[in-house]
Structure 1
Amino acid sequence: MGARFAFTGGREGWVRVLLTAVGVGLGVALLLLTTALPDALAERSARDDARADHTYGQKQKPRVDDTLVIADVNTEYHGKDVRGRVMEPEGTRAPLPPGLKEFPEPGGMVVSPALGKLLASDGGRLLRERLPYRIVGTIGENGLVGSQELAYYAGARGLAAHISPPEVARIDSFGGPRPASEPWDPVLLLLVLVVFVALLMPVGVFIAAAVRFGGERRDRRLAALRLVGSDSGMTRRIAAGEALAGALLGLLLGTGFFLIGRQLAARAEIFGVSVFSSDLNPAPALALLVAVAVPAAAVLVTLLALRGVVIEPLGVVRTAKPARRRLWWRLLPPLAGLAMLYPMIGKGNDRGNFNQYLVVGGVLFLLVGITALLPWVVETVVARLNAGGPSWQLAVRRLQLSSGTAARMVNGVAVAVAGAIALQMLFSGVEGDYTESTRHDLTRAQVQVSLPSGTPVDSAARQMRATKGVRQVMAFSGASLGDRRKDPGLSTEVTVGDCAALREVATLPSCHEGDVFAVRGAEYDTDTPKLATPGRTLYFDPSYSGSTKGAEFAWSVPRTLKRARTREDPTGAERGGFLITRGALPAKAAPAFDGRLFIAVDRSVPDAREYVWNTAARIAPYSTPTTWVASEQSGRFTSIRTGLFVGATCVLALIGVSLLVSQLEQLRERKKLLSSLVAFGTRRRTLSLSVLWQTAIPIALGLLLASAVGLTLGAVLLKMVGATVSVDWASLLAMTGSGAAVVLVVTALSLPPLLRLMRPDGLRTE
């Protein structure tokens, strides 16, 4: 009978069950996406491992029939990474990279679909100048980590002459055994657990709210059945059947939404992460769990909501003012959550692991406490609201009659905001432990270009200074210096540059072309004072055990040697050793030196960094420039934060769509009332404002409650990891503002349907 009410109750029943199914389906789609993400990320990682070509720590391979010379020429474009490789096969059995059918000819390149699209667009003009190759093919799916990855493989000749591992190396295979990963520390595991609970809780709340769509009319219908003779058990079974029908239809719709989203996922990139459609395959066990848990939850929520209908059917029929909600039992879930988290305060990396079950249970109970407390808060506050304009009074009276419905609509937003506030506090509190300063002085330079041996530094510096958007170029050459030709006992570094460049790394008494300086005061530099003896013979680029350089060159310390004090260079390091102006460097010693350019960019010039990278590609095609940053974060910490942003974006989208469905359901329930008010002369503007107030008042109360619970949870989590409790008020306002903005957008989108409902035909009764 319940299923028949859902599907054969005429237009009214169909609309009600369809709204329920859409709400449940959106939640199911996100749950299926969540179950598919671990496998998708694993597939990304597996493809990345399969194409690995790094040779760190490996000995140089001899040239044979199955070797390949490959150069790492990664680049950046408008803040996005572009993976680049230049290759030259040295035999017929050279390893072919995954995703390629054959090696590109010299001058040709095989690109990823996303890179091909970018190069063909107007926005890829500057990148095309950096990649002087013609496109001859497309990289297959098994050669890319994601659908939106920018990557290419290019062919070249003469790469063997540039071998300098790891940037340019000779390999005989791609991939290989994965290095053993370090164990996760307790704080990062805590972050992962809290992220999953905080992101999935709003989904569960929305599914529970969707099951209650059309709740007022259903309660009246069930109360009527109760009055005509059905007992409490029969009433519960009828309600369970109706809820089960809507939930099962929601499962079907959710599966459809997921399959549609799965196809669209290949076109999207969120915070630099993209996947292929084939990657999003939910684990069978988890998918089965969703298929069982959602209908079971729908029935359970419905049975819990039937207490008033079963006990007092006449109260439902008369729409009398419901009994006041009790507070005491609503405080139990958050108190239980705090009790579960309290024993772990002070633990962390130094004092052991966190109990995963207590963490999940404690966070879960605290967030569930919001859904229990919010109806009481809304009821208590709106009972005291009275005076105001007509739109305010219409909204307040409606909330006084059905505060539970209003609270259900914003429960998910409140839970999501509370979880976001707690996570933001936790991330901010432990960020310093996983962030390391690079010491780079970004006020003096922002880009570094390393030049291979033999590249004329002066010529490279002139080309870079002539580049659009370059403000200053500091050019240096560097080599080592020892007291013996082989296996030196004392050694130090040598820096070559013009006087302006040398003043960036040391405090010089005076400087003219031809001067040589011995630098003192550098930390850990104990050999320079012993070597800085005028007339002493030293050797550039000495050979060490196992080395076969053979480029050692004798040099005598000049009698006119000057003294200088060290200072931090643009990299933040203190240089010691010798500083030599270019006029004092013997020409025969030039091959022993590697060049380096530190470049200051004029940030007022659009695309200044892109021009710098283009010039660097011409000067040193097999060397990758480095864009400096003030700090670097742990890869795992960054991955967790990226996962949080991706998940939060999906949950925020679910919040918006579910709220819109809920709002439309509320308007449909009140169609006759709205039409009656319009017929009696109420202005449409007044009714529209009343709808806005009906949404704004509960959401304001929900955000206040969410802020309180989120701050409490965040403080407890920070105490658990031993961090100082602090609140980033700007982030707090951003979180609450995001929740409020979603509600305002949903309200604006619901205005056109509202205006259509304010028609006289809404008074028609069948």
Structure 2
Amino acid sequence: MIRLALRLTLSGGREAATRLLVIATAVALGVGMLLATLAGMNAVDAQNQRYGWLNTAAVPASPDPSADRLWWMIREDFHRGRSIGRVEVGSSGPDAPVPPGIPRLPAPGEFYVSPALADLLRATPAAELGDRFPGREVGTIGQAALPSPDSLLIVIGRTPADLERLGAQRVSQIMTTSPSDCRSGCYVGINRDGMVLVLSVVAAALLFPVLVFIGTATRLAAARREQRFAAMRLLGATPRQITVISAVESTVAAAAGTLAGFGVFLAVRPGLAVIPFTGERFFTADLSLTLADVLLVAVGIPLGAVVASWLALRRVQISPLGVSRRVTPKPPRAWRLVPLVVGVAELTYFVGRRPPTTNGQLTAYLSGFLLILVGLLLAGPWLTMVSARLLAARAGRPATLIAARRLSDNPRAGFRSVSGLIVALFVTSVATGTITTYIANRGEPPTDSVAATSLSKWFRPEDGPPPTAAQIPAALATVPGVRSVTLVHRNPDPHGWQGVITCAELDRLQVYGSCPPGARVASVTDDLVGMRAFDLTNDTYVWEAADLDLADIDRQPILSVVVDTTDRAAFERARTMLVDAFPTGRFPASTAEWASSSARAFTQFQQLANVVTLASLPIAGCSLAMSVAGGLSDRRRPFSLLRLTGVRLRTLRRVVALETVAPLLLVAAVAIAMGFLAAHLFLRAQLGYPLLAPGPSYYLLVAGGLLASLGIVASTLPLLGRVTGPESARNE
């Protein structure tokens, strides 16, 4: 039977070859996406392993007093919005541990840099960047210590006395603490569990349209296949033999598709490496597969195809005459709405009850999103049936009545052809609504706002005595492009903002807000922008008055020095001067730079959502076209008989179009509405924000996808005239 099955599969004519090619193509896409997701998870692990050494200070030093120690200090610097990891080390003995990626510890006055930072140093004037790093470059940091090809890292050698004065720690070994395992004190890295959860959702969102595509491909000419298998049953073939033939057909297609899927993955792997899923792109070698991954996909996909083929042919196994005895399937029941309602109820429950931990929040919200998505898929046939019945009750034309009755009789088939669009539209609506609202409330300020053009150096009590006015570099005010240098003093009133400044100074600056009428001293944030970055525009923001005499302001410790600039070159020159003048504590930065990490992360999630949409829509469109074409092939005899009885071809085309367009528009409306509802509930629960309307790009993307889908439906309608001629009614 296996030989017969292979002959039927490989030599069954154009129809069999087309079906084999389509199924193999669908499987190849699914396998390629699955492998890309598995490789992405492995890449996150690999990247975190190389982040680990930067978290050395998060682990206590060895209690052995005889061990040579390493003075260790790591801080974050910035250049034009990009983060620079600055590691300063010093040795207390010849056997002090050496960080990975460098052959030895740099001596005082030496430093090693990552290749990306070396290129940046060569392309940037020294006054804007290079002068911050004492000494000379003696080498580059190897790949073993670089999380990403774009990582900006520098390892600077200093004397133990300098490092002790700067507040460095003593460590006995270079640790490899993964950020996923670090509970506190980690410098950089990501939580693997959270990223894997996000990638898993992305994988599911990408794989579902592919699974629909595969299912649609296996149903291509399903009626003709079932008739062929039923004829074999009438000739004496046993159900087991039919199962073997079907399994061989599915296994051949799945095996070919699986092999091609590995080729698809290898072809797209270099392109995947440049996508910054974690904030930085991967090395291509990081996107690797384990032996378990390869075996899981290579064995699991063909095995799944065999099971799917057995389920698809269960009617033929029951009775060889069952194919010709068609009955109306049982209508879907209202219980299908239960997961959808439960998912909405779960997200609603957490409004005002936000889980206290990150993992708890991820579990609560993502499980709610998945429940809603599964609920949409389950409720789709029921919603299609209800809408079809309403359409039939109000039908004014024969085409509308026929299409509505067919959808009402078999809503699962009508919904199945457009179900691939649900994931793309739901995921895009959730991501766009959430990210648009977040960035509008807490995202990175515009590059021309005072929050982005003002640089502040904050002097914390733990960094030592605050500086005096004489210690502030006088050359700051002479840098071309610097508009003002302002000192913010500490506010002695514990009930006001942390800083104070004279109203005369605020009036002179005209960019940091203003005082209330009659006030002489204002209570301000530590850097004049801070928490008010999104309210403060020129002089429209009014600060609170401070109960402090003018004569007492200069007696208060300096809290921060704030430099307002007109361009990025002046900004970086001022930063370099402040770094050199005050090397302790946090390095100076703008509010925009401190906010950029979260805004950048959400922008990356938006990119993932766009990837889901752009990948899902073409696949869903292919499924839609195949479903319509397959339906025409399976129904060409009934349509031919209708044409012989006088029904116009134009009417039949309207029937086919309505059968597809009605569930398509219904799916789009419900998926978009539920996506925005889920986003609104998440924002209220997690951040307390109401949902804001997305920008025009979202509507253009959705409209373009729907118009493309309608175009695909229209492109299949000319087939109707060719497959429903009189010869179809005569020969069938």
Comparing 420-429 with 288-297, greater Cα deviation is found at 420-429
The answer to whether the 8 Å contact 2:355/2:361 transfers is no
Q: Which amino acid aligns with 1:242?
A: E
**For the residues of structure 2 that align with 1:57 and 1:497, how far apart are their CA atoms?**
45
* SS class of match (2:419): helix
Query: 1:258 corresponds to which residue?
Result: 265
The answer to whether the 8 Å contact 1:94/1:172 transfers is yes
Judged with a 3 Å threshold, the aligned counterparts in structure 2 of structure 1 residues 71 and 95 are, in CA distance, closer, same or farther, namely: same
Task: For 1:650-665, list aligned pairs within 5 A.
Answer: 650-656=611-617, 658-659=619-620, 661-662=622-623
Query: 2:44 corresponds to which residue?
Result: 41
Judged with a 3 Å threshold, the aligned counterparts in structure 2 of structure 1 residues 267 and 455 are, in CA distance, closer, same or farther, namely: farther
* SS class of match (2:175): coil
Cα offset, 1:411, TM superposition: 1.5
Alignment deviations for residues 89-126 of structure 1 (CA, whole Å, 9 cap, x no partner): 67654543321234568887644344456667xxx556
* SS class of match (1:328): coil
Alignment partner for residue 25 of structure 1, among 20, 23, 28? 28
* SS class of match (1:30): helix
The answer to whether the 8 Å contact 1:474/1:501 transfers is no
* SS class of match (1:27): helix
Q: Which amino acid aligns with 2:44?
A: L
Q: Which amino acid aligns with 1:448?
A: S
* SS class of match (1:275): coil
**For the residues of structure 2 that align with 1:175 and 1:306, how far apart are their CA atoms?**
58
Judged with a 3 Å threshold, the aligned counterparts in structure 2 of structure 1 residues 189 and 333 are, in CA distance, closer, same or farther, namely: farther
* SS class of match (1:447): strand
Query: 1:547 corresponds to which residue?
Result: none
Query: 2:188 corresponds to which residue?
Result: none
Query: 1:175 corresponds to which residue?
Result: 175
Judged with a 3 Å threshold, the aligned counterparts in structure 2 of structure 1 residues 423 and 332 are, in CA distance, closer, same or farther, namely: farther
Query: 1:600 corresponds to which residue?
Result: 564
Task: For 1:109-128, list aligned pairs within 5 A.
Answer: 110-115=112-117, 125=124
Comparing 452-461 with 615-624, greater Cα deviation is found at 452-461
Report sequence identity in percent.
Answer: 21
* SS class of match (1:220): helix
Task: For 1:138-287, list aligned pairs within 5 A.
Answer: 138-147=140-149, 149-153=150-154, 161=162, 164-166=165-167, 173-175=173-175, 181=183, 196=200, 200=204, 203-213=207-217, 215-227=219-231, 229=234, 230=237, 234-270=241-277, 272-282=279-289
Alignment partner for residue 627 of structure 1, among 590, 594, 597? 590
Cα offset, 1:448, TM superposition: 0.6
Judged with a 3 Å threshold, the aligned counterparts in structure 2 of structure 1 residues 8 and 139 are, in CA distance, closer, same or farther, namely: farther
The answer to whether the 8 Å contact 2:455/2:562 transfers is yes
**For the residues of structure 2 that align with 1:430 and 1:191, how far apart are their CA atoms?**
19
Query: 2:505 corresponds to which residue?
Result: 500
Q: Which amino acid aligns with 1:371?
A: L
* SS class of match (2:101): coil
**For the residues of structure 2 that align with 1:473 and 1:744, how far apart are their CA atoms?**
55
Query: 1:473 corresponds to which residue?
Result: 485
Comparing 42-51 with 335-344, greater Cα deviation is found at 335-344
Q: Give the RMSD, CA atoms, in angstroms.
A: 6.6
Judged with a 3 Å threshold, the aligned counterparts in structure 2 of structure 1 residues 358 and 463 are, in CA distance, closer, same or farther, namely: closer
Judged with a 3 Å threshold, the aligned counterparts in structure 2 of structure 1 residues 409 and 616 are, in CA distance, closer, same or farther, namely: same
* SS class of match (2:20): helix
Query: 1:74 corresponds to which residue?
Result: 77
Q: Which amino acid aligns with 2:561?
A: L
Judged with a 3 Å threshold, the aligned counterparts in structure 2 of structure 1 residues 736 and 497 are, in CA distance, closer, same or farther, namely: closer
1:707 maps to 2:672: yes
Q: Which amino acid aligns with 1:21?
A: A
Q: Which amino acid aligns with 2:46?
A: E
The answer to whether the 8 Å contact 1:435/1:631 transfers is no
Query: 1:488 corresponds to which residue?
Result: none
Comparing 33-42 with 354-363, greater Cα deviation is found at 354-363
**For the residues of structure 2 that align with 1:173 and 1:649, how far apart are their CA atoms?**
43
Alignment deviations for residues 197-216 of structure 1 (CA, whole Å, 9 cap, x no partner): 57525524522431431623
The answer to whether the 8 Å contact 1:44/1:146 transfers is yes
Q: Which amino acid aligns with 2:77?
A: N
**For the residues of structure 1 that align with 2:286 and 2:486, how far apart are their CA atoms?**
47
Q: Which amino acid aligns with 2:484?
A: Q
**For the residues of structure 1 that align with 2:571 and 2:530, how far apart are their CA atoms?**
22
**For the residues of structure 1 that align with 2:499 and 2:380, how far apart are their CA atoms?**
69
Q: Which amino acid aligns with 1:333?
A: R
Judged with a 3 Å threshold, the aligned counterparts in structure 2 of structure 1 residues 473 and 180 are, in CA distance, closer, same or farther, namely: same
**For the residues of structure 2 that align with 1:100 and 1:756, how far apart are their CA atoms?**
67
The answer to whether the 8 Å contact 1:66/1:90 transfers is yes
Q: Which amino acid aligns with 2:280?
A: V
Q: Which amino acid aligns with 1:651?
A: V
Q: Which amino acid aligns with 2:33?
A: L
**For the residues of structure 1 that align with 2:468 and 2:717, how far apart are their CA atoms?**
72
Cα offset, 1:612, TM superposition: 0.3
Alignment deviations for residues 485-527 of structure 1 (CA, whole Å, 9 cap, x no partner): xxxxxxxx99999973799999999xxxxxxxxxxxxxxxxxx
Scaled by the length of structure 2, what TM-score is found? 0.65
| Structure 2 alignment gaps of length 5 or more | 185-191, 493-497, 532-543, 637-652
Task: For 1:456-605, list aligned pairs within 5 A.
Answer: 460=473, 462-464=475-477, 466-468=479-481, 470-475=482-487, 500=505, 567-569=523-525, 570=528, 596-602=560-566
Judged with a 3 Å threshold, the aligned counterparts in structure 2 of structure 1 residues 458 and 430 are, in CA distance, closer, same or farther, namely: closer
Cα offset, 1:44, TM superposition: 2.8
Judged with a 3 Å threshold, the aligned counterparts in structure 2 of structure 1 residues 732 and 715 are, in CA distance, closer, same or farther, namely: same
Cα offset, 1:628, TM superposition: 0.9
Cα offset, 1:626, TM superposition: 1.5
Query: 1:614 corresponds to which residue?
Result: 573
The answer to whether the 8 Å contact 2:385/2:411 transfers is yes
Q: Which amino acid aligns with 1:474?
A: T
* SS class of match (2:338): helix
The answer to whether the 8 Å contact 1:99/1:143 transfers is yes
Cα offset, 1:143, TM superposition: 0.9
**For the residues of structure 1 that align with 2:552 and 2:309, how far apart are their CA atoms?**
83
Cα offset, 1:462, TM superposition: 4.4
The answer to whether the 8 Å contact 2:212/2:623 transfers is no
* SS class of match (2:279): coil
1:412 maps to 2:397: no
1:349 maps to 2:348: no
Cα offset, 1:446, TM superposition: 3.3
The answer to whether the 8 Å contact 2:279/2:601 transfers is no
Cα offset, 1:414, TM superposition: 0.3
| Structure 1 alignment gaps of length 5 or more | 183-187, 481-492, 510-562, 586-591, 603-607, 675-687
Query: 1:517 corresponds to which residue?
Result: none
Query: 2:456 corresponds to which residue?
Result: 448
**For the residues of structure 1 that align with 2:485 and 2:331, how far apart are their CA atoms?**
69
**For the residues of structure 2 that align with 1:668 and 1:352, how far apart are their CA atoms?**
47
* SS class of match (1:626): coil
Cα offset, 1:668, TM superposition: 8.1
Judged with a 3 Å threshold, the aligned counterparts in structure 2 of structure 1 residues 479 and 271 are, in CA distance, closer, same or farther, namely: same
Query: 1:99 corresponds to which residue?
Result: 101
